[in-house]
Amino acid sequence: MRLDTNSMISNVAEAVRRQVARREGEPMDADAVRQGIRVSLSDLGKPGGPQKNDDIEKSSLPDGIKELLKMIRELKAQIAERRAELEAIASDRSLDDDTRAQRMEGLRNQLATLQSALSSANLNLAKLVRESDLSDEQAVELGQLLAA
């Protein structure tokens, strides 16, 4: 994960400037506020990246375990995306309260579904690992892939 501290510092400075302007009664530029809450993922964090699962494919693990690892990664990426969307909607003051609440409720439902699917995938992976009789090297490889 790469953090661009220059843009973070400028974002903090802009937020402070907006707070001062708000206290002094100056009008707020809605586009500038929205710009300050934009969320973007690097190519590595986006689903469907070209080399996203190369490490899984190159592993010596059985195919069933490889497929579950790919599914778990995809679910984790979708969960992170929904959480970022939820945070963006929560801080978007251009939305009226009812619209914000409806969108947040929809995202919370999606998040709950994704988290349930992730739990099921993890349980299936644990069951498959128990049944697969992995070597010590494969077990270490599995741990590394889960942590990645």
Length of the chain: 148
Can you say whether residue 47 is alpha, beta or left, with left for phi > 0 and alpha for psi between -120 and 50 degrees?
Answer: beta
Question: Whole domain around residue 105: which residue ranges?
Answer: 42-147
Please check whether residues 70 and 16 belong to one and the same domain.
no
Across the chain, which has 148 residues, the per-10-residue mean pLDDT values are 48 63 64 52 52 88 94 94 93 90 93 95 94 91 90
- Look at residues 35, 76, 37 and name the one whose alpha carbon lies nearest to residue 53: 76
**This prediction's pTM:** 0.63
> CA-CA distance, 75 to 78, in Å (whole number)?
5
Q: Which residue has the tokens 């690097």?
A: 42
Please check whether residues 60 and 99 belong to one and the same domain.
yes
Name the residue type at position 107.
Answer: L
Please check whether residues 46 and 114 belong to one and the same domain.
yes
Can you say whether residue 25 is alpha, beta or left, with left for phi > 0 and alpha for psi between -120 and 50 degrees?
Answer: left
Angle (deg, nearest 10), helices 97-132 and 63-91: 160
Query: What is the model's pLDDT at position 147?
Result: 87
What one-character DSSP code corresponds to residue 51?
T
Cβ atoms of 72 and 52 within 8 Å: the answer is no
Query: What is the model's pLDDT at position 71?
Result: 94
Please check whether residues 48 and 121 belong to one and the same domain.
yes
Please check whether residues 79 and 7 belong to one and the same domain.
no
Please check whether residues 46 and 86 belong to one and the same domain.
yes
Q: How many domains does the chain have?
A: 2
Please check whether residues 48 and 31 belong to one and the same domain.
no
Structure token pair of residue 80? 């992170």
